[in-house]
Structure 1
Amino acid sequence: MRKSLITAFGAVLLALAGTSPAAAETAATPYTPPTGLTATDLTFRNGGTELHGSVVRRADLDPAVRHPAIVLVHGSGAGPREELGQEAEVFARAGLVTLIYDKRADYTKTHRDYSALADDAVAGVRAVAALPDVDPARTGLWGLSEGGWIAPLAASRSAEAKFLVTIGAPGLPPARTQAWNLINRITRAGVTPSTVDAIVGTGMGLAVATDGFPQAAYDPVPALRAIRQPVLALWGELDTQVPPRESAEVFRRELTASPSVTIRILPHGAHAGRVTTDGYDRVGGPTINGFAMGELLPGYGTLMTDWIAQVTGGRLPASAADALPAQGSDSIPVSGVGPLWWAAFAVIALALLSWPVGALVRRLRGGRGRPAGARPARWLVLTGLIALVGGVAYPIMTVATSGKQTEAFLFGQPLAWLVLRVVTVLALLCTAWAVAALRSAQGRDRLRLAVTTAGGLLLVPFALSLGLLLP
């Protein structure tokens, strides 16, 4: 029973996410550099996976001289190379041979493999280091957001990467990081904190339990401890997607093997080092695939390129760390719902469904008339199933859509959640009505009504666990 429920919930998550693990391979995305830069196509392989990228250079770069190079690793999303065009321009104009590449085609919302993605980045480093105008001893990695899990993992596996730069890198597991992100986003939309915690807690717990949230428990600490390259790690002070204080603390504490660790906080900066007014919006910049990229923060690019010039010039900087930024709230651990949750859901559903199933059997046997308690039982089945299924489906939908449609409608409640709260109260009233009707029921009808009523009574603690009955 539990296995079939997990499969069903996983299918719902996949449908709501609108993706499939077996995503078809997409065509390579072209990249057109701005004036003063050139871009040449580069195809490289990680085992059986072919990857396509663009090598971006300054147009006046001397091809007879070996130059430092850098490979850029995407954050979450489909990852066409053009999304990293702003950063590529910064590095290329500073004289670095810069590789941006399209993410592998089997990456989706519900399927991703950090190990394979890290190996893609390592393959990119090897491909760039083999170019005639690149100095392999001065070639490194840069990772953004989710790439802040992947690029460190790649660096920990390959000494061919000589330095590492991250921006907005998470220091916590993906499920915990995304829960913090969702809580911030939904709270900002006016939803009360207790409701946000209930919705996100249930949704993330189900996503983890049904494998609908990929790499949910990935721990970045082992990779960080294995990094032996110099590291520059940056976070925006106003980052609302990745907890900047907690993540910076983890990097500062765990990069024990690195000879040089520099931690910088970008004042008034958003996630990804962008200009923002409040941490949620992005100001200026190009729009790519309908997404406003935002302008890079003033000084952000120079900070990175100056640090890289120092490292590749043989002048290893002493380790240093800025004061850590404040966070509106701390992140909370996330784990999948356990066997008792699945058992409770199944028992309540079966108890409520027993009434219509029993009614069908009674009719097939030629039974006539309406049994005692039929009216409260029918209303209990209707309201109870709506509360049960809706109370689970809405948090799943919230997680699958990253909370984009979740905002306060009345009393700090999303409309759908408010309706579910009302329906849950009606289900409890129907349960009381059914309990009263038990006095007049007899025989099999009494047993049927008792089972259905038990489902209504069990709905009380279950609804409390979902947050449907709390203020």
Structure 2
Amino acid sequence: MRKLLLVLAALVAVLVPGVGAYAGPSGPIPPYAAPAGLTATEVSFTNGDTVLHGSVVRLAAGQTAAGQTAAGQTAAGQTAAGQTAAGQTAAAGTTVKHPGIVLVHGSGNAVRPQLAQEAEVFARAGIVTLIYDKRSDYDRSHRDYGDLANDALAGVALLRGLPDVDPGKVGLWGLSEGGWVAPLAASRSSDVAFLITIGGSGLSPARTQAWNLNNRLAGNGVADATAAELVASGMGLAVGLDQFPEAKHDPVEVLRAIHQPVLAIWGERDLLVPPAESAAIFRRELIASPSVSIRILPGSSHAARVTTNGFDRVGGPTVGGFVMGELSPGYAGLMTSWIAAGYPSTIDAVPTQRTTSAAIEPVGVLGFGLFALLLLVLLSWPVTAVVRRLRGRRGRPAGAVPARLLVLAGLAATLLGTAYAIFVVASGGTSVHAAFLGQPLVWLLARVCLAVALTCGVLVALAFRSAPSVRLGAVLAGGVLLIPYALGLGLLLP
């Protein structure tokens, strides 16, 4: 029966285009090209047998870092006297050394141009920046944060070996899912000098994604109680079926092992990661960090972009048909000035969060067993009907009409409700909209089927009382089992 649920999950994944929580480019993405004033050097580096391809972005020859002060100090903390491009020889005949930073992607099969805006911010501040394409074995069904963290550390090693980079000042930056990966990498190596996260979660991926989906459904008009049950059921099935990679990753233990200065940033209007909960966890758990800065960007979205509703992105470049969004005011300067100032500690007040996240309980053996038993007893009626016909037996047994309706409606409610809960997770909630009284149409249909099944169950119980039989008793048992299954799925709740 577990295989049947896996088939349902696979069918939903195939039928839903662009599945997943990550909304990003869907069209072809051209190679990264540095704008005027910057250069991009193509590089390759390895993590074990995996070859990664990236670009090192830095100031072009003759350019000085943005944010230079009257005293000749650049935003990156480098002396501007005699400074040209990173790696050029200064007037005194010595090579100018710059800080470096490796940018770690969020979710999805991301490539370099998707981090171009941040890369150019750091490069213009005199910070040598590495952006790279995500490893090829990353997909919706497989991801390993350990491998991704080691990819980032391989990038750190590459930057530390460049002649224009100060090896003691190479840090990591991680966006969204990178907010789990970059801290893991920092916890593994003292070669990482500092850590910046934007939209990083202090909760597990499964719990974080559930909170995100609840917000998405609520934004599409779905009632909060219905959204909560749909998401909890779908995520519980996904985790129980091992269809949500890294679902149980615990960021708390990682945060406790970080010994580098940390700048953690969240958008005030972040609806993908719980900003208040995450900020509180980062502040509480970064116990070994010498400097912790918790910053909140007013009116900003999850990825520190200008937004109107927390989900959309306004302005900025378009990459692969996707609007990347304009960087939120103050975001760029916040990061570069923090590095230039030597990683100071500043704590902002946490923002108001729409709802509190809830833990996800994976569907276990009992849940799968109940599903199997329910289908077995409901299907016993049509199976015995076929056997009766093969044996030449005719006639309608007592309670046949309500029994048939109970079987049909019960199977419809069970399969439709289960498949739709999986669909909600597989689609990232983007295709789930309220149709009536805060209920999605398919979910409402599953509830109607359930009501019909339970009504017929009462009639079957009366028929069984008058003329008990094994066959009728099996169908009645299916009606009884339908109640706890529907409760677990959320079909019986408001």
* TM-score bucket (shorter structure): over 0.9
3-state SS, counterpart of residue 303 of structure 2? helix
Number of positions where the alignment pairs a residue of Structure 1 with one of Structure 2: 456
**How far apart, CA to CA, are the structure 2 residues paired with 1:368 and 1:462?**
34
1:57-109, Cα deviation, whole Å (9 max, x unpaired):
11121423222111000011111111001101101111111111010111112
Contact kept in structure 2, 1:14 and 1:212, CA below 8 Å: no
The alpha carbon displacement at 1:8 in A equals: 4.4
Task: Report the Cα offset of residue 438 of structure 1.
Answer: 2.8
Q: Give the TM-score, by structure 1 length.
A: 0.92
- Give 1:260 deviation, angstroms: 1.1
Question: What is the SS of the residue equivalent to 1:362?
Answer: helix
Q: What SS does structure 2 have at the residue aligned with 1:469?
A: coil
- C-alpha contact 1:7 1:210 (8 A) present in aligned 2: yes
Distance change >3 Å, CA 350–CA 188, structure 1 → 2? same
Query: Which of 307, 310, 316 lines up with 1:285 in the alignment?
Result: 316
**1:363 aligned to 389, 392, 414, which one?**
389
The answer as to whether partners of 2:97 and 2:163 remain within 8 angstroms in 1 is: yes
Find the counterpart in structure 1 of residue 242 from structure 2: 211
Cα deviation for residue 17 of structure 1 reads 6.5
| Pairs within 5 Å for 1:202-281 | 202-281=233-312
Deviation at 1:289, TM superposition (A): 2.4
Is 1:110 the counterpart of 2:111? The answer is no
Q: Counterpart of 2:444?
A: 418
From the two aligned structures, give the one with the greater helix fraction.
1
Q: 2: distance between equivalents of 1:227 and 1:439? A: 67
RMSD, aligned α-carbons: 2.0
- 1:24 corresponds to which residue? none
Residue 480 of structure 2: aligned partner: 457
Q: Does 1:197 find its partner at 2:223?
A: no
CA distance in 1, matches of 2:390, 2:209: 51
1:156 aligned onto 2:187: yes
Residue in structure 1 matched with residue 492 of structure 2 by the alignment: 469
Residue 165 of structure 1 corresponds to: 196
In structure 2, how many angstroms separate the alpha carbons of the residues matched to 1:254 and 1:362?
Answer: 66
Question: C-alpha separation between the residues in 2 aligned to 1:466 and 1:11?
Answer: 19
Q: Secondary structure at the match of 1:348?
A: helix
Per-residue deviation, residues 136-168 of structure 1 (Å, max 9, x unmatched): 111111000110000000011111111111111
Q: Within 1, Cα distance between the matches of 2:254 and 2:481?
A: 45
> Which one-letter code corresponds to 2:398 in the other structure?
A
CA distance in 1, matches of 2:86, 2:142: 42
* Letter of the 2:224 counterpart: P
Cα pair 1:29 1:80 within 8 Å, conserved: no
Which residue identity lines up with residue 480 of structure 2 in the other structure?
Answer: L
Please give the per-residue CA displacement for 1:274-331, whole angstroms capped at 9, x wherever unaligned: 11123222111122223221100111101100111222xxxx52x3211111111111
1:437 is aligned, of 463, 472, 486, to: 463
Asked if the contact 1:371/1:441 (under 8 Å) is kept, the reply is no
Q: How far apart, CA to CA, are the structure 2 residues paired with 1:332 and 1:413?
A: 21
Q: Secondary structure at the match of 1:71?
A: strand
Residue in 2 that maps onto 1:32:
33
Separation in structure 2 between the aligned mates of residue 28 and residue 198 of structure 1, nearest angstrom: 38
Match of 1:49 in 2: 50
Partners of 1:69 and 1:28 in 2: how far apart? 26
Rounded to whole Å, the distance in 2 between the matches of 1:203 and 1:126 is 41
Corresponding residue SS for 2:168? strand
Within-5 A mapping of 1:52-131: 52-60=53-61, 61-64=85-88, 65-131=96-162
Q: AA paired with 2:87?
A: P
Matched with 2:366 is: 340
**Displacement of 1:393 after TM fit?**
0.9
Q: Structure 2: which amino acid aligns with 1:465?
A: G
SS at structure 2 position matched to 1:55: strand
Gaps of 5+ in 2: 20-27, 62-84, 89-95
Is the Cα–Cα contact under 8 Å of residues 55 and 132 in structure 2 kept in the other structure? Answer: yes
Query: Percent identity over the alignment?
Result: 59
| Structure 1 residues 466 and 291: CA distance shift in structure 2, 3 A | same
- The 1:377/1:62 distance shift into structure 2, 3 A limit, reads closer
Structure 1 residues 408, 10: CA separation in 2 closer, same or farther (over 3 Å shift)? closer
Indicate which of 166, 173, 176 corresponds to 1:135: 166
CA gap of 1:363–1:229, structure 2 versus 1, over 3 A, is same
1:409 partnered with 2:435: yes
C-alpha separation between the residues in 2 aligned to 1:301 and 1:156? 25
Report the TM-score, using the length of structure 2 for normalisation: 0.88
